Structure 1
């Protein structure tokens, strides 16, 4: 499968190339209640040290989130989210040698984060958060930044899950175009664990090639997800092996970015999978 090469560059000198190798997005949960590591990194010094460890271990992007989106999470306001980010984000932007994405579905938070040094918006509602119609697309267009647009929905009813996901992504692309955000700034995410049952998550994983065939890079976020725990009967913190297997499946299916907690082992697995996928004719 021939991959599109995308190159992004920002005013602060940071760059990112998608398509030459599988990229690793390291998760930095700056929250007290994330499902597997809540509270471990929600102090500034601890968060900065963890960022440095993840970059040293092979992270190409650091993804910071100030609101947990685990099942049953307690939603917070944009003001509360921004207040959590206020102390850490400027310091993170100054210290981090790789691009930073902000994990938020609120347009106000995204605008603040980009102004404070974030480079990418990671939106779990794929520019389609019902409470803020059109707002995230407008922010992304105004700031001219890439967006990771994840598939999500309320409930788990589908007519044809892959077909419905493609329709969702087509809607996201249309919203981006209407806002003036270049299609080259869109990265899609199948949203494993969001709006999907165990069986649906497995089905999507088995049919990833139908999604990576779309003309957009695909990010895969399977790290420590519940479906892995159900397969392996393990608690979240022990699901690394299953995460690695899912990531290798993702690489072989053409996914461009892996969003993970356990950077070092997953980065190594992805490098091996990349080597096995290399075109021998080059």
Structure 2
């Protein structure tokens, strides 16, 4: 990919995601499933991830060229820049786009009981349990959610899209905690900090399905602990209320997460 400026990187990243999403919508169409796809559906080496109620194939451990293009943006945000704020925006957008590529965001929202019915909540639960049990897609999404959560939590300068990013990251983390099967892990083992991973081998082992290590996110703690779901919501509410520049939307999201924490059905703000 040719060398681009910081603003151009952000534009290309978003354009790439929009185009991929358009192609995914096309491949989910009835015409495609009965036509080209039906003639070329002999490859069974792919895992299945849920995309807001629909299913689409995503390579489980085999990286695609498109994944490498998205990875380019992560690497780009780690190098020195003359425009650190723009670089930070690109980094957060990269993680948000990655969550959207891997996680069924609308299904996560339904599972929280936000603007839905009990029947749909139960259906979302079953879909998300399958998604999490599938392993790789859910864990990869959790990795991006942890990075996005940590970035917004520690930042000094807020941007207008942060509440939406925080909502997506928090729902992803909270759902993963609520629905993951807990396993007993020796307390002497060093936890894997997925918001700031330093051991690439341990990280890859976890992404590939290892259940031999505990997972940690700064501000939330060990995800296997009994109160980690509540801590996720508490931290989210605190961060959303802190961001004065976010105005009403930040307060609205904080109110919704407070209702989820209280165990009441989230309702639109009055």
Kindly indicate which of the two structures has a greater share of residues assigned to strand: 1
Instruction: Answer yes or no: same fold by TM over 0.5.
Output: no
TM-score by length of structure 1 reads: 0.28
Structure exhibiting the larger radius of gyration computed from Cα positions: 2
Kindly indicate which of the two structures has a greater share of residues assigned to helix: 2
Which structure has more RCO (C-alpha within 8 Å, separation ≥ 6)?
1
TM-score by length of structure 2 reads: 0.29
